[in-house]
A and B are shown apart, each in its own frame.
Chain A
Amino acid sequence: MLSDARLVAAKDLRIELRSKVALNQVAPFAAAVLLLFGFALGPDRATLEPAAAGLFWVAVLLSALLAVQRSFAIEGAGGGHDALRLSGLDPAGIFLGKASAVAVQLLVLELLLTAGIAIFYGAQLAGFLVLAGAAVLATVGLAAVGTIYGMASSGLRARETLLPLLFLPVVAPVLLAATKAWDAALTGPAGAGAGWLAVLGVFAAVYLAAGIVAFDPLLEDA
């Protein structure tokens, strides 16, 4: 399973490195979202700084949608779902591989957005352990949920509009917990975010387990 996951993740990341869609489209989109929030709330840093954590995670969530859609668009281009099925790869490995590739892209994006909230919103970066822990756990949860629903919706005609409808309500707990954890880290005390890390960890574990179990029938029905 893990060797299959490595193979799929390496393939997806290689495709992203060659196509540069994440770099040329998703990252500018996320930066634009941060800027637009700034326009909407006004230039006053006293307003923006307390909202930085929430705005950061909303931007990540919206970018995650694009990353997941892209992850399954590359599979559909040349009859790819059939290629994945014909490959004989373990469906659980395919799930972990695709989720890992999405997670890596999101983590890189989050690094850029972190610089963005420091520059645009004046956020004081502190509590790095909580920031990093929350980012990793939330990203794993987002990638797992996104990969499950990306696969579920990928064979449908209305997949572009259906995926956000399925994905966003389910990841509301991630938005809440990650925002609270980051808020605690940015405004202190960072230790107050520890409980939210546990929530993010449980969420990620549940959806990783669900994906490992459910991906086989999802792949067959796509």
Chain B
Amino acid sequence: MAPAIRFRDAVVLAGRFPLLAGIDFTVAEGEVVLLRGPNGAGKTSLLRAAAGLVPIASGEAVVLGFDLQVDRREVRQHVGLLGHTSYLYDELTVADNLRFAVRAARGPEAAIGPALHRLGLDERLSKVAVARLSAGQRRRVAIAALLARGPRLWLLDEPHAGLDEETRDVLDEIVGEAKASGSTVVLASHELDRAARIADRVVAVAGGRIVEPAPTTAEVGAPGPDGPGVETAAGAGMAVSRAV
């Protein structure tokens, strides 16, 4: 089976500054991978590159069988990205936002209701403009939009941030169901304890590069000197020094 993501010596630049400096990164279809690294390590850039949102300056980058340097649009039709911003339209209602996302992806509109219900967004909230929602509620709407679209590749950037404990559990269930249905999930998180529980594998990122060898999910999720499964710069530094 072809991998869902295959990056070979992939470089992403911001001007002359390399955000990703020759990344080798492979994710098998149906796998759940946790990206671990300190702030500025390149996790978000890696997720955005996999979503086809930033150009690959050199190297090889194939996602879901499509070459990112040629077929970025095709990749995007099958990818769902939960980013730092919500990708929602403030003036539209929750339901309108989901309807637009699903229609654009040629998905089934019947999936909208169950997705809203799953994220605890009831009938009343579905008619409210996104601008009037709290940050956590917006996050839930963004997750519901992804769920309704049903992408083959889920790219989740700090997916647990801003969510209450109950919704975090729901999100973890959704990730598990996506994996069970054959979808691939790559998530970047500093909440290592929780993220390690749903991941099959951990990939450490530092300085725009993949750090080898990567820690196991058990190592990452284990309580450390700074608390249970919380990412710290020192922790990431340890990963780097181990690789060296």
Q: Chain A interface (Cβ within 8 Å of chain B)?
A: 4, 7, 11, 14-15, 18-19, 74, 77-80, 82-83, 85-89, 91, 220
Contact = CB atoms under 8 A, between A and B. Distances in A.
A91 B86 CA distance: 21
A18 B129 contact: yes
Among all A-B residue pairs, the 10 with the closest Cβ atoms: A79-B85, A88-B77, A83-B87, A87-B104, A15-B91, A19-B91, A18-B91, A88-B76, A78-B88, A78-B86
B103 interface: yes
Contacts of B101: 87
A74 B87 CA distance: 11
Interface of B: 51-53, 55, 72-73, 76-77, 79-81, 83-92, 96, 100-101, 103-105, 129-130
23 contacts: A7-B103, A11-B89, A11-B92, A11-B100, A14-B92, A15-B92, A18-B92, A19-B91, A78-B85, A78-B88, A78-B89, A79-B84, A79-B85, A79-B87, A80-B87, A85-B52, A85-B53, A85-B76, A86-B80, A86-B87, A87-B100, A87-B104, A87-B105
A4 to B, nearest CB: 7
A14 to B, nearest CB: 6
A11 B101 CA distance: 11
Given A11-B92, A18-B92, A87-B76, A82 B87 contact: yes
A87 B75 CA distance: 10
A185 B198 CA distance: 71
Contact of B100 (A7, A74, A78, A91): A7
Interface centre among A74, A78, A79, A89, by most chain B C-beta atoms within 10 angstroms, is A78
B76 A86 contact: yes
Contacts of A18: 91-92, 129
Given A4-B104, A7-B100, A11-B92, A86 B86 contact: no
Nearest to B84: A79
Contacts of A91: 73
A179 to B, nearest CB: 35
Contacts of A79: 83-87
B73 A77 contact: no
Contacts of B72: 220
B90 A77 contact: yes
Nearest to A16: B91
